[in-house]
Chains A and B, each alone.
Chain A
């Protein structure tokens, strides 16, 4: 059992049409660490996240909890890595919330008798009342859908959470709720986001990506306060770190 949750070595990936998406990415994340993944649009953040659970396969090695992500045993990898996509509409595809949350655990082989309890717990974890179980995804607000999508991932009890823009398009109150939710989770966290303030809130460490390469990797506040670095990669120094705000 390694104490590295994620080890990525010399990862390269190009899309089918030839565009280079990831170039020589090397990255190690310890168990329990919380890392933010930031960068301009098209930097490769989402692409990298998709490599964590084997949806995309590049050349190079990706190891999750010591095991290499290879075509063979993806079941283990997908149990370990809970990937949450940006658009909840694509993740809520069952007629009811209950079935959506149950989908993951059932695929993992959790006995049918234990499913209701898992669903209840997942709803509680995302602070949704258990009456949500019978509702259809379409009738929920965007914020509620985001929380249900997170519940779907949490129900599988992954050891690594890979979240792609978890708080996008949310009103400030819901966003704050979600940040508190994520803060309370014990899993290793890889957070792909444009929301730099959220990155400061949740992740002591940040990786800056640009053009498919890792450009910086270090302490979040230090990186974000570096105006030159931020400007060079299409980012800005977050408000909370500017000059006389601290």
Chain B
């Protein structure tokens, strides 16, 4: 597993990257919701949305191959879900296409959000928007320890594979998986214990201290204005 899969392009310095995390969270989510409210007949609005996202993608300096690649990876799942929907009747294909397009636009929004915001900043933004502290702390631990765990899994896999020849029966596969999970779980418990000791040694008493606040800038207002304008446009046009 690539170790920087989350933040690969979050270290860039585009105007979008410099926005406060709160702005991006609210702005992008509102944008996604707006896209979902566009009536399917309104092609102009869809093109406007796509245009806007393309502009944002350009400003963000995230490499295009990555955006396209990421979209293509998720697309099969969207298509699968779409094909389960009831089709038939006139314009079946057009409507299918619109369904997929809606989903893809929202996916683009998500890609933009997560790749223009450093994870630490994202967490801070979530916290300031009222997300429960414990959830933010959990996300922070997940981020920190997922690499450690994936290394452990990789090593376990290698150990397992080097002791295996040819095809394996399902039942053996299951048993091995069960042992791997069990071992991982025991290690997780032990790690949690040691973590607790370390936290408590540094004065932890159940409450997490608040971090220093960040300030808004004109860029944040500009971004919000653009998104609001778009939403207003789709509603009235």
Taking CB as reference atom, which chain A residue is nearest B146? A138
B residues in contact with A108, CB < 8 Å? 203
User: Is B202 in contact with A107, judged by CB distance below 8 angstroms?
Assistant: yes
Main secondary structure of the interface of A (DSSP, over half): helix
Stretch at the interface among A1-9, A90-98, A171-179, A224-232: A90-98
Q: Does A239 contact B (CB under 8 A)?
A: no
Cβ-based interface call for B158 (8 A): no
Contact flags (1/0) for B180-223 with A, using CB distance below 8 Å?
A: 00000000000100110111111111000111100000000000
Considering the complex, which residues of chain B in the window 142-184 have a beta carbon less than 8 Å from any beta carbon of chain A? 143-145, 147-148
Chain B residue nearest to A56 (CB atoms) is B197
In angstroms, Cα B151 to Cα A139, docked, is 13
> With the chains together, A82 CA to B54 CA distance in Å?
52
The main secondary structure of chain B at its interface with chain A is helix
A79 — which chain B residues lie within 8 A by C-beta? 203
Task: Determine whether the beta carbon of B201 is less than 8 Å from that of A90.
Answer: no
Min CB–CB distance B5 → chain A (angstroms): 12
The answer to whether B212 and A93 have CB atoms under 8 Å apart is: no
Cα–Cα distance between A93 and B120 once the two chains are bound (Å)? 13
Q: Are A138 and B147 in contact (CB under 8 A)?
A: yes
Which B117-160 residues have a C-beta within 8 angstroms of A? 119-120, 123, 140-141, 143-145, 147-148
Contact with B along A87-117 (1 / 0, CB 8 A): 1011111111001000110111000110100
A168 CB to nearest chain B CB (Å): 15
Q: What residue in chain A is nearest B141 (Cβ atoms)?
A: A93
A110 → chain B closest CB, angstroms: 9
Determine whether the beta carbon of B203 is less than 8 Å from that of A104.
yes
Contact assessment for A75 and B202 in the assembled complex, using a CB-CB cutoff below 8 Å: no
Q: Are A107 and B209 in contact (CB under 8 A)?
A: yes
- In the complex, the answer to whether B144 meets A95 with C-beta atoms within 8 Å is yes
Q: Is the CB of B203 within 8 A of A55?
A: no
For residue B204, which residues in chain A have a CB less than 8 angstroms away from its CB?
Answer: 103, 107
- Cβ of A118 within 8 Å of any chain B Cβ, yes or no, is no
Find chain A residues with CB under 8 A from B144 CB.
92-95, 136-138
A90 with B198: CB separation less than 8 A = yes
Shortest CB-to-CB span from A104 to chain B, Å, is: 4
Interface residue tally of chain A, by bracket?
A: 35 or more
Question: Residue B3 at the A interface, CB < 8 A?
Answer: yes
Report B-chain residues with C-beta under 8 Å of the C-beta of A115.
Answer: 212
Neighbouring A residues of B195 by C-beta, 8 Å = 90, 93
Decide if A83 touches B147 in the complex (CB within 8 Å): no
With known contacts A75-B205, A90-B191, A95–B198 Cβ distance under 8 A: no
Establish whether residues B123 and A103, one from each chain, have CB atoms under 8 Å apart when the complex forms: no
Question: Is there a chain B Cβ closer than 8 Å to A156's Cβ?
Answer: yes
Given contacts A107-B203, A115-B212, contact A138 B3 (CB under 8 A): yes
Tell which of B143, B209, B210 has the most Cβ of chain A within 10 Å: B209
Q: Does A53 interact with chain B (Cβ within 8 Å)?
A: yes
Q: Cβ of A78 < 8 Å from any Cβ of B?
A: yes
* Contact yes or no, A55 B212, CB < 8 A: no
Is the pair B203, A78 in contact by a Cβ cutoff of 8 Å? yes
- Flag if B3 contacts A112 (CB, 8 Å): no
When A95-B120, A107-B204 are in contact, do A87 and B209 touch as well, CB less than 8 Å?
no
Could you write out 18 A-B pairs with CB less than 8 Å apart?
A: A50-B197, A53-B201, A55-B197, A87-B194, A89-B148, A90-B195, A91-B198, A93-B141, A93-B198, A94-B144, A95-B119, A99-B120, A103-B199, A106-B209, A107-B204, A113-B212, A115-B212, A138-B148
Residues of A near any B CB (own CB < 8 A): 50, 53, 55, 75, 78-79, 81-83, 85, 87, 89-96, 99, 103-104, 106-108, 112-113, 115, 136-139, 152-153, 156
In order of increasing CB-CB distance, the 8 nearest A-B pairs are A107-B203, A106-B209, A104-B202, A90-B194, A91-B198, A83-B201, A138-B147, A112-B212
Interface residue ranges, B against A (CB under 8 Å): 3, 119-120, 123, 140-141, 143-145, 147-148, 191, 194-195, 197-205, 209-212
Other than A78-B203, A138-B144, give 20 A-B pairs with Cβ distance below 8 A: A75-B203, A78-B201, A90-B198, A91-B198, A93-B141, A93-B144, A93-B198, A95-B119, A95-B120, A95-B123, A95-B143, A96-B120, A99-B120, A104-B202, A107-B202, A107-B204, A115-B212, A137-B144, A153-B202, A156-B202
